[in-house]
């Protein structure tokens, strides 16, 4: 019988550092990487391009259209580049307005169903590190390694502030804290796949940890699960 590819899921709230950690772990172990949040942001961006706004209550027809886009979005991932219908939107999808729109439409069941199999298709040999909000609870419930990465809203706001400033976006710490708290509440309370630690997940608070320290703790957990010593894990270039 063919063994299923190794899947490591890293879930957590916005700006918890799960993306950077997941990429580092994938690089270290030589596995594929899935940024599931990028898929929701891409659908959000597509919706915004068609005049949908964050404050608009979407109609049933619009919700169905979101699901269509989710299934057939013309997106290509090329390293760090994300191309939507041939256009590089890698920076555009990271804007706060797009993130807020993505959080709003993520409550829509039709959209989540549309993305479900598309996300699962990323689980290919030699394995996958997937980050998001429901990777361990819904998308890959049988993943052998599940992590829930969190941090205080203040720390997360400071990290997001630095990311935005470094990318040339304007930002305000107070507004970011409020936005993160609002998004956390919305993500945790939604009917479909609410944000929560998956059953059996390793919960890691990175508030007082550097990126390298967080990655090291996650790798220690991974090694324990697969029955290896930390120094027996593969070391890939680029980490």
Q: For the chain, what are the domain ranges?
A: 6-229
* 134 DSSP 8-state letter: S
| Per-residue pLDDT tens digits for 94-135 | 888 898 899 888 888 889 998 998 899 999 999 999 999 999
Distance CA 135, CA 168 (A): 30
Q: Would strands 127-132 and 87-88 be described as parallel, antiparallel, or unpaired? A: unpaired
Task: Evaluate if residue 79 carries a pLDDT over 50.
Answer: yes
* Closest among 165, 124, 154, 168 to 30, alpha carbons compared: 124
Decide if domain 6-229 falls under CATH 3.40.50.300: yes
- Residues across the chain: 239
Tell me which H or E stretch contains 227: none
| Per-residue pLDDT tens digits for 168-212 | 888 899 999 999 999 899 888 888 888 899 999 999 999 999 999
What are the DSSP E strand ranges found in 121-195?
Answer: 127-132, 145-150
Cis peptide upstream of residue 3 (ω within 30 degrees of 0): no
* Closest among 8, 19, 21, 110 to 59, alpha carbons compared: 110
Task: Evaluate if residue 55 carries a pLDDT over 80.
Answer: no
Q: Are 3 and 141 in contact (CB under 8 A)?
A: no
Write out the two tokens for 238.
């680029």
pTM listed for this prediction:
0.85
Distance CA 75, CA 84 (A): 5
Task: For the chain, give the mean pLDDT.
Answer: 89
Q: Would strands 75-78 and 81-84 be described as parallel, antiparallel, or unpaired? A: antiparallel
Dihedral in degrees, nearest 10, Cα atoms 237, 151, 112, 29: 20
């Amino acid at each position: 019988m063919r063994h299923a590819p190794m899947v490591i899921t890293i879930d957590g709230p916005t700006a918890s550092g799960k993306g950077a950690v997941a990429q580092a772990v994938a690089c270290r172990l030589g596995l594929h990487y899935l940024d599931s949040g990028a898929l929701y942001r891409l659908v959000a961006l597509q919706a915004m391009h068609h005049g949908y706004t964050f404050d608009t209550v979407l109609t049933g027809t619009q919700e169905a259209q979101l699901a269509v886009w989710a299934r057939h979005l013309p997106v290509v991932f090329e390293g760090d580049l994300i191309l939507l219908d041939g256009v590089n939107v890698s920076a555009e999808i990271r804007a706060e307005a797009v993130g807020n729109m993505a959080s709003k439409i993520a409550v829509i069941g039709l959209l989540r169903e549309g993305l479900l199999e598309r996300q699962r298709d990323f689980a290919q040999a030699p394995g996958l590190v997937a980050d998001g909000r429901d990777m361990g609870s819904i998308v890959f419930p049988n993943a052998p390694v599940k992590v829930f990465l969190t941090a205080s809203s203040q720390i997360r706001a400071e990290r997001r502030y630095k990311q935005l400033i470094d990318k040339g976006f304007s930002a305000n710490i107070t507004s970011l804290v409020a936005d993160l708290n609002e998004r956390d509440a919305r993500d945790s309370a939604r009917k479909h796949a609410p944000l929560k630690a998956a059953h059996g997940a390793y919960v890691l608070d990175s508030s007082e940890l550097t990126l390298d320290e967080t990655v090291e703790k996650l790798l220690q957990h991974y090694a324990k699960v697969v029955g290896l010593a930390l120094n027996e894990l593969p070391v890939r270039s680029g980490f």
